[in-house]
Amino acid sequence: MNTPLRAMKVADLLPMEADVELRALAREITGHDVAYHRNDAPSITDAEYDALRQRNLAIEDLYPELVRPDSPSKRVGAPAVSGFGKITHARPMLSLGNAFSQQDVADFLARIRRFLGLDADETVQIAAEPKIDGLSVSLRYEGGILQYGATRGDGAQGEDVTPNLLTFDEAQIPRNLPPGVPDVVEIRGEVFMAKSDFAKLNAAQEERGAKIFANPRNAAAGSLRQLDTTITAGRNLRFFAYAWGELSAELASHHDQVLALFKEWGFMINPLTRVCDDLGGVMALYRDIEAGRAGLDYDIDGMVYKVNRLDWQSRLGMVTRSPRWAIAHKFPAEQAQTTINDITVQVGRTGALTPVAELEPVTVGGAVVSRATLHNADEIERLGVRKGDTVIIERSGDVIPKILRVIEEKRANNSDPYKFPEQCPVCESSVMREEGEVAWRCTGGLVCRAQLVERLKHFVSRDAFDIEGIGGKQIERFLDQDLIATPADIFRLVDHRDTIARWDGWGDKSADNLIAAIENRTSIGFDRFLFGLGIRHVGQATAKLLARHYTSFENWHAACVKFAAATGTQERQELVELDSIGDAVADSLAEFFREQHNLDVLEDLHRELNIRDVEPLDTSVSPVAGKTVVFTGSLETMTRSEAKARAESLGAKVAGSVSKKTDYVIAGPGAGSKARKALELGLEVLSEEDWINLINGF
């Protein structure tokens, strides 16, 4: 999951930095385009995606000479997928710039007035329409007869989905236009699935054990892009017309008049569309429609404002990929109400117990949500949640929804406060909480099956040993069948090759591939090895740092053995001071080395593997070398000390308070006055993910 690389203020970027970032943005945006348009599986929120695009545009504005041939600003969406014929659009299918606030909309209107050189008393009528959350298609009619229909694809070329579109009801997509229409007419609009149809579809899919769609948009896209059109036919897709491509004759002088004609011709026009005269009118409609949004039977993610006069539209023209005469005004995060059916507790790799709210499924922000993390016992207490409670949840397009609050008035009389388990729900070992820690942990270690499974999964995961073909499912099966019990056993699976080959769903080829994949990883960099061990507080960043500090497994092992045996050793002092690793990491390493079974695991692995030394760190090449950074709020993927260590290892200075000298403020949930101060000072505030993306790979 990647989000924007918002390293510095765009205006501060040097050409070289801009060049590097444009390359990274091109790669990243393309990845997201493919995930969204081709695989119907977006991996970041729309807002994050928009931010990436905007940053790309801003950098290109600053350095037009650095615009890349593969720049995302030159295209829309992802190249057409194979399997469907390709259709080159007679006019490109454009995308829209985004507005997120009233100020952005005011700026949009002011830009238009300036561009057209209008007098203050001249009204700019705006046609305002809901932004339908589906996928856009273009329908081409010649001589009044539907010739073909295509998806947007990359904006220039889309997929020929004519057979699929021909399964639509005529009331959605007329096959013929009335007599007298221009010879060539291209109607553009959004194919979407009604929320009610979406709910029915998912219920049926679940019953059949088939794929559950995350939201109506994905369901619509998945349903339209079916090589088997009988599937499309069963999905009851709909279509709102809102734009056009090639026309062999002008239809009218204003946008709303064209839409009225489309309606006469038998297309559906969104009934909430209005013409507004000024910012006040536009904003009032925006608020109205937002208030009624949850009650609509289709998802909308904002409003689209278009200059109503078509002669002005053509004067305004377009900038690279979007028209200057239109803008999308996005809605903020959506909330929903639901009930907590149960509170379950998961046991993680390090034994941490994470409570999870099992929710009555509800659609929010375009996705069905049935679970939400409650993080830890403190969070449960803070929210005061109990089983059976009615709660408000929020999801801003993010993958992880959160519980905002409990509606206490709706609580049943017989409800009891939630009691956090005193025993591990998996292995029944006692649970404990260390001083200063929020998480309760299972004390079972590798005796706890949940911890063992998670540790082994972590061991083979992408950033660790990255063994292709082994994931959670395989690990569980190997464990169940007693083929493995420790990490090093994975490298001895070759002894069980024939057994595995005989399993259902395996066979000789899969078994051989597995063995080859494992053998491929018997030579591994020390940093990956270290991360793969899954030692508490030794995340990817710290593992890299430790690896670069010690450079070899042998050095690290020797140092750890010494400071595990005695406190106050020089080795420990060196570690804590040199890299500002902090006590948490040192304690955790010491604890790890004091357990005989961990030493056995290391010895065993060392025998099986070739652990390659790593190069010591050169801080001068890092993107944050010499910068001052401040962390505020809570961090989710690393501890504060880990974040600090990592930043310092890359040559950054970590400060405790925000000042004009601060370069980056990394703000997590709960960030308060420091983040506010940063905004006041006009500093760049990064999310944890932005930060990770920035330093990733260094």
Task: Give the shortest CB-283-to-ligand IVH separation in angstroms.
Answer: 17
The residues, any chain, with a CB within 8 Å of residue 10's CB and separated by 6 or more, are: 55, 58, 59, 62
**DSSP code per residue over 264-330:** HTT-B--TT-EEESSHHHHHHHHHHHHHHGGGSSS-EEEEEEEESBHHHHHHH-EETTEETTEEEEE
Q: Note if 131 is an active site residue.
A: yes
Q: Would you count residue 304 as binding ligand IVH (CB under 6 A)? A: yes
Q: Which CB sits closer to ligand IVH, 126 or 658?
A: 126
Q: Which CB sits closer to ligand IVH, 268 or 679?
A: 268
Task: Give the shortest CB-173-to-ligand IVH separation in angstroms.
Answer: 16
Q: Which CB sits closer to ligand IVH, 127 or 686?
A: 127
Q: Which CB sits closer to ligand IVH, 174 or 189?
A: 189
Q: Would you count residue 96 as binding ligand IVH (CB under 6 A)? A: yes
- Structure tokens that stand for 344 in this block: 């379950």
Q: Would you count residue 426 as binding ligand IVH (CB under 6 A)? A: no
Q: Would you count residue 215 as binding ligand IVH (CB under 6 A)? A: no
Binding test (CB under 6 A) with ligand IVH, winner from 323, 355, 487, 623: 323
Q: CB–CB of 232/224 below 8 Å?
A: yes
**DSSP code per residue over 230-267:** HHHHTT--EEEEEEEEEESS---SBHHHHHHHHHHTT-
Q: Would you count residue 129 as binding ligand IVH (CB under 6 A)? A: yes
- Structure tokens that stand for 515 in this block: 């063995």
The residues, any chain, with a CB within 8 Å of residue 630's CB and separated by 6 or more, are: 654, 655, 656, 657, 658, 662, 664, 665, 666, 674, 678
Binding test (CB under 6 A) with ligand IVH, winner from 22, 26, 165, 243: 243
Q: Would you count residue 136 as binding ligand IVH (CB under 6 A)? A: yes
* Helix extents (H) in 63-176: 102-116, 162-165
Stretch that binds ligand IVH, among 88-96, 259-267, 275-283, 528-536 (CB under 6 A): 88-96
Task: Give the shortest CB-242-to-ligand IVH separation in angstroms.
Answer: 4
Q: Which CB sits closer to ligand IVH, 289 or 686?
A: 289
Stretch that binds ligand IVH, among 9-17, 127-135, 201-209, 389-397 (CB under 6 A): 127-135
d(CA 62, CA 67): 10
Q: Would you count residue 514 as binding ligand IVH (CB under 6 A)? A: no
Provide Rg for the chain, Cα atoms. Answer: 29
Q: Which CB sits closer to ligand IVH, 222 or 323?
A: 323
Task: Give the shortest CB-121-to-ligand IVH separation in angstroms.
Answer: 28
Q: Would you count residue 40 as binding ligand IVH (CB under 6 A)? A: no
Q: Would you count residue 289 as binding ligand IVH (CB under 6 A)? A: no
Q: Give the residue at shortest CB distance from ligand IVH.
A: 136
Stretch that binds ligand IVH, among 92-100, 202-210, 286-294, 464-472 (CB under 6 A): 92-100
Q: Would you count residue 29 as binding ligand IVH (CB under 6 A)? A: no
Q: CB–CB of 155/92 below 8 Å?
A: yes
**How many residues bind ligand IVH, per CB under 6 A?**
14
Sign of CA dihedral 348, 353, 359, 363: negative
Q: Choosing from 86, 131, 473, 627, which is the catalytic residue?
A: 131
Q: Distance of CA 500 to CAs 81, 511, 520, 616, Å?
A: 36, 6, 18, 41
Q: Which CB sits closer to ligand IVH, 160 or 358?
A: 160
First to last CA, the chain: 18
Stretch that binds ligand IVH, among 89-97, 432-440, 486-494, 602-610 (CB under 6 A): 89-97
Nearest residue to 529 via CA among 501, 494, 567, 491: 491
Coil, helix or strand at residue 204: helix
Q: Which CB sits closer to ligand IVH, 131 or 627?
A: 131
Binding test (CB under 6 A) with ligand IVH, winner from 56, 73, 95, 138: 95
d(CA 482, CA 460): 18
Residues 163-192 that bind ligand IVH (CB under 6 A): 190
Q: Would you count residue 276 as binding ligand IVH (CB under 6 A)? A: no
Q: Which CB sits closer to ligand IVH, 179 or 271?
A: 271
400: left (phi over 0), alpha (psi -120 to 50) or beta: beta
Task: Give the shortest CB-152-to-ligand IVH separation in angstroms.
Answer: 6
Residues paired with residue 244 on neighbouring β-strands, in sequence order: 187
d(CA 583, CA 572): 9
**Which residues does the annotation mark as catalytic?**
131
Q: Which residues contact ligand IVH by CB under 6 A?
A: 94-96, 129, 131-132, 136, 190, 242-243, 304, 323, 326, 328
